[in-house]
Amino acid sequence: MSVVTRFAPSPTGFLHIGGARTALFNFLFARHHGGKYLLRVEDTDKARSTPEAVAAIHEGLEWLGLAGDDDPLYQSSRAERHGEVARILLEKGHAYRCYLTPDELTTLREEARATGGQIISPWRDADPASAPDAPFTIRLRMPLEGSTTINDAVQGAVTVSHDALDDLVMLRADGTPTYMLAVVVDDHDMGVTHVIRGDDHLNNAFRQQKIIEAMEWPVPVYAHIPLIHGSDGAKLSKRHGALSATAYRDMGFLPEAVCNYLLRLGWSHGDDEIISRDQAIEWFGLDAIGKSPARFDMEKLTATNSHYIRSLPVDTLTRLMLDGDDTSAAIMTRLEQLAPAFAERAQRLTDLKESAAFAIHDHAPPISEEAAALLTDTARENLAAMAQDLPDDFDSPDGFKQWLGQWLEGKGLKMRDIGPPLRAALTGMKQTPDIVLISYCLGVEQIRLRIAAICK
């Protein structure tokens, strides 16, 4: 069997981080089996679906490297096909016209709620000749007895009694298809073999399978994955980090880090934590997905991101620090020399850019309030003396370190007397990578210029 999976978001908002994980699992399963991964935009809810949300979903998937293998299918374009299937089921006797008014349906629901029984429309077995000239829905004729078992690839065998399944509406009175019908028809027509989605859809699967059986179509393999919870075990919300995929991009996370972290939310491969995309494709399987909800942990995501930042090549780090700005060859060399040290301390790309801000320009940086507190009168005097005694050049960081040690000894000073204020003067910050490395990379001319700026 050639595997085909699909990710089918509803464009009523951004690409949620949980949706991104579902897309990732579908992508990896298809790639692992050499199959296809498709995208379907379920935009039938015109009141809530917006072009902005559609664009946001595509943007998020592109950023994560999870765009579909083919052009996306828009569910709203297939209403005629959905209606055709509903009418086929009607002709086969698997469905019926229901003329219940909204008030009548409300009464039936209240009665069913009071008795614990099913909602059974009086039109289920009515004589078609008695039908009024009025709007009607098309309902699927569900079995009244017995049960259905789904052998879910994640949840295992799950059984539901048929007395818990009402006759679902497939076509509304205005002729528009419902979600339950459209999903089944689209999955079949797209050739989807494996439906991998959140376990909040598990109850839907029993109803949807009855449409599939009535049409005598192949039943796909179902894999309902547990939802993501917050670190406190509660339903994932914005306070836990339930943001859009692009929000994480804007916060300075790398797509590789986000995908690696999402992969480990509910799926495992031994004790491996850092897993490349190629490894994920090779190792991924539905059998390694847990049955319990995973817990989203922003600290773990950040730690994963730190690892990926440290793994970036120097030229990529330099490009990220510049963020598209043109610069001189001297500053480019400076950034390349400093890049590994900046990356070692960065948790997000925003940290990388902030850390490198002082090195991107050939002028004295603004001094933070914390750093300014280090620039006492004595510190300024020591810095001015050091600047005056500096040689014209150094051949290496070790050369600067050796000279500075000798200079401090000659002045009767310690590194703590010059290091913190020198860092403040050169970078405008209280904490940075090694000040010896920074001093060497900036060069003597910049050291003098920046010390002069704080000694005015």
Active-site residues, by number, are 238
Q: What phi and psi, each to the nearest 5 degrees, are found at residue 390?
A: -60, 140
Comparing C-alpha atoms, which of 98, 81, 87 is closest to residue 167?
98
- Residues with Cβ within 8 Å of 76's Cβ and at least 6 positions away in sequence, in order, are 43, 44, 46, 49
The two three-digit tokens of residue 242, written as one number: 């339930």
Buried b (16+ CB within 10 A) or exposed e, 248-273: bbeebbbbbbbbbbbbbbbbebeeee
Comparing C-alpha atoms, which of 71, 90, 50 is closest to residue 181?
90
Buried b (16+ CB within 10 A) or exposed e, 274-302: ebebeebbebbebeebeeebbbbbeeebb
The answer to whether 423 and 435 are in contact (CB under 8 A) is yes
Pairing of strands 221-225, 194-198: parallel
Q: Output the CA angle 321-322-324, nearest 5 degrees.
A: 130
Comparing C-alpha atoms, which of 298, 299, 338, 290 is closest to residue 318?
338
> Roughly how many angstroms between the first and final C-alpha of the chain, as a whole number?
77
β-strand partners of 98 = 137
Place of tokens 């297939």: 78
Q: What phi and psi, each to the nearest 5 degrees, are found at residue 41?
A: -95, 110
Integer Cα distance of 3 and 224 in angstroms: 17
β-strand partners of 37 = 5
Name the residue type at position 41. Answer: V
Is residue 224 helix, strand or coil?
Answer: strand
The two three-digit tokens of residue 368, written as one number: 């933070």
Integer Cα distance of 401 and 383 in angstroms: 15
**Helices assigned H by DSSP within 169-217:** 179-189, 202-214
